[in-house]
Structure 1
């Protein structure tokens, strides 16, 4: 299959034999699947997709491969510059020194910045090719004396200590949409309105948990919490956040509800993403809303926050037959829909 994305079209025309290389942070592209390489990704959806086709795929938090080092690695430079730096540190810490390393990305995505990053790490670099508004650089791994774990940070928000990683939504800050959402939850979930709909502890699902602030906020108030995210960076961050605050919860890597078959909750709380790199992608949020009734108890509720311009009212109407707006500050809206 011919490459479909600009970055893969640039790679396709190289003379390099990419068999048994690592594809690090790759896009979804059929050409990659035919190269006999291994996908290294924090995106659970991509890992599931590759595994379902019998292809080699792993997360950066998996145990090291027993089969030994790859022939080389291609790092697809991400939108987040800090995340790209983390991937570089991880590759240098994981692979033997001298392993061939290529870095590819779109000019608009900041690929040219890798020159300064590589220089700061003492890694040599040369430009191999450019086309389709993309560039490809060549280097090799080396011991750089910096631990990838050093990028983990902690910060305070809402009375909680949060763990944060460059690959997590809202890295290092308290998102305004989440702030607005949390302000609505005491009465809806723990006041007369919420308590009258259930018996016992609230069974809550934090969908798209990010750094775990919603899960930790719920757990601190006695809820039995399950936190889910498609990013393994977010899953690790949420686990660290819960542990750092002395709280308990089940944290699951899942492509929306894929790992939650048969499970039902009193409440699903979410600040869902709508970007995939620089592109708008409503797919995950549409699944979140459309499949929510299947994962709610009778009388259970979906409470979510979203940018005011996003077209979620029609999705909520279709899935639940109605909804209400709990808050609207012109930037964000908090929606609530209840399962009959």
Structure 2
């Protein structure tokens, strides 16, 4: 059983493939886990059920309330922190960082609830922050898992993470047709060279980075 307050990003294909990737990691009792952009808390709860000590961050107070309640419904405590990306946990280090960040290119100012998916003109507003800062937030041997669309330049993500010192690879990929948001702005994406003319499919990929 779980809940979702109005306006909170729901569990979709991107969440599901990230959950599957998380299930393959060695999260165990006492593992320090950070969920950036927790939404409903699906990832946070999955880690907590396996014994992880989980902190969930989001810029939506409704999302944090949803994650906290969903943890409680499973008999787990999720520590929730309000704020942007790593700011609420500055100075801490984690064994695992998971994130399903906004990654859809947007030509308009982000507002609520579109901020759950809109990520600036290239779709990289949050992705670039995660790539630049994740290594310093991980303990030695720590693992970053994040999901994004192929429209938001997966090669750049891998390159930035590798340059920061993380051993990086794409560990999951799911091909599918555009959802309603992407379909609605397909002409704009074509105009700005973010997709080929007539393209209406994307890959959702999970990028894994390890601090050695």
Question: Shorter-chain TM-score category?
Answer: 0.7 to 0.9
Secondary structure (helix, strand or coil) at the match of 1:297 reads strand
Structure 1 residues 314 and 215 mapped into 2: Cα distance closer, same or farther (>3 Å)?
Answer: same
* C-alpha displacement of 1:297: 0.4
* C-alpha displacement of 1:211: 0.7
Residue correspondence of structure 1 range 1-340 to structure 2 within 5 A: 161-170=1-10, 174-190=11-27, 201-275=30-104, 276-277=110-111, 280-281=119-120, 282-311=124-153, 312-330=157-175, 331-340=203-212
- Calculate the TM-score normalised by the size of structure 2: 0.73
* C-alpha displacement of 1:316: 2.1
Matched-pair contact (CA < 8 Å) for 2:135–2:166 = no
Structure 1 residues 218 and 321 mapped into 2: Cα distance closer, same or farther (>3 Å)?
Answer: closer
What 5-or-longer segments of structure 2 have no aligned partner?
105-109, 176-202
Matched-pair contact (CA < 8 Å) for 2:57–2:64 = yes
Distance 1:328 1:181 in 2: 10
* C-alpha displacement of 1:240: 1.4
Larger of the two Rg values belongs to structure: 1
Task: Give the structure, 1 or 2, with the largest relative contact order (CA under 8 Å, sep 6 or more).
Answer: 2
* C-alpha displacement of 1:293: 1.0
Offset from partner CA, 1:230-280 (integer Å, 9 cap, x none): 111211111111112221121111211111121000010111112534654
Secondary structure (helix, strand or coil) at the match of 1:169 reads coil
- How many residues get paired? 169
* C-alpha displacement of 1:183: 1.1
* C-alpha displacement of 1:187: 2.5
Offset from partner CA, 1:41-94 (integer Å, 9 cap, x none): xxxxxxxxxxxxxxxxxxxxxxxxxxxxxxxxxxxxxxxxxxxxxxxxxxxxxx
Matched-pair contact (CA < 8 Å) for 1:202–1:222 = yes
What 5-or-longer segments of structure 1 have no aligned partner?
1-160
* C-alpha displacement of 1:321: 4.9
Distance 1:280 1:265 in 2: 25
Matched-pair contact (CA < 8 Å) for 1:289–1:315 = yes
- Calculate the TM-score normalised by the size of structure 1: 0.47
Secondary structure (helix, strand or coil) at the match of 1:309 reads helix
Structure 1 residues 247 and 253 mapped into 2: Cα distance closer, same or farther (>3 Å)?
Answer: same
